[in-house]
Amino acid sequence: MATILTVDDTASMRQMISFTLNSVGYEVLQASDGKEALKLLQGKKVDLVIADVNMPNMDGIALVKSLREQADYKFTPILMLTTESQESKRQQGKVAGATGWIVKPFNPEQLLTIVKKVLG
């Protein structure tokens, strides 16, 4: 089963996401910001990254940029968590190389639908 990394500074979001994904058998890694995510991914391969945009230390956009520079993560799907009002962030994310986004608020079913689509 695929491995997914969730990056969010909000513990409840991380918990919700990882619980939801765990419940259908995905393996889930968690990081609380971009820096931690990068550290976690050193020498490790995940199949999907779900990252929040607003985070301390290193935000989601910087994380995407940095991941895209790595050979291992050139083509890995990276989804950003954004809200309806964050059109400009979404653009920045796309430019940085994000695959797509999940609009907050979302419920577990919506999350699973999207993840299943991406991972096939």
Applying CB under 8 A, the residues found at the interface with another protein are: 9-13, 15-16, 19-20, 23-24, 54-56, 68, 74-78, 81, 83-85, 94, 97-101, 103-110, 112, 117-118, 120
Q: Which is nearer to another protein, 42 or 85 (CB)?
A: 85
CB-based burial, 79-111: b 16+ in 10 Å, e otherwise: bbbbeeebeebbebbeebbbbebbeeebeeeeb
Cβ(58)–Cβ(38) below 8 Å: yes
Nearest-approach distance from CB 25 to another protein, in angstroms: 11
Q: Which is nearer to another protein, 44 or 116 (CB)?
A: 116
Cβ(111)–Cβ(20) below 8 Å: yes
Q: Which is nearer to another protein, 11 or 44 (CB)?
A: 11
Nearest-approach distance from CB 15 to another protein, in angstroms: 5
